[in-house]
Amino acid sequence: MFPWLDASFKQLSHRIATNKLHHALLIQGPSGLGKSSFALQLGQLLLCKVRQGDKVCGQCQSCLLNTANTHPDLHLVGSDKQIGVDQIRDAIKKLTSSAHMSGAKVLIIYDAHTMTESSANALLKTLEEPTENTFLLLTTDKPERLLPTIKSRCEKLALPLPSLDSTLTWVKTHYHGEIDINFAK
What φ, ψ does residue 55 adopt, rounded to 5°? Answer: -120, 145
- What domains does the chain contain, in order, with CATH numbers? 23-175 (3.40.50.300)
Looking at residue 144, its amino acid is E
List, in sequence order, the alpha helices (H) in 18-102: 35-47, 61-67, 85-96
- Beta carbons of 48 and 13 less than 8 angstroms apart: no
- Per-residue pLDDT at 184: 52
Contact 29, 159 (CB under 8 A): yes
Cβ atoms within 10 Å, residue 109 = 28
Note down pLDDT in tens along the chain; length 185 residues.
888 999 999 999 999 999 999 999 999 999 999 999 999 999 999 999 999 989 999 999 999 999 999 999 999 999 989 999 999 999 999 998 888 887 899 999 999 999 999 999 999 999 999 888 999 999 999 999 999 999 999 999 999 998 888 877 777 787 776 777 676 55
Residue 48: its pLDDT value, please?
96
The pLDDT of residue 19? 93
Q: Is the C-alpha dihedral spanning 142, 117, 76, 94 positive or negative?
A: positive
CA distance 124 to 150: 7
Q: Which pTM value belongs to this model?
A: 0.91
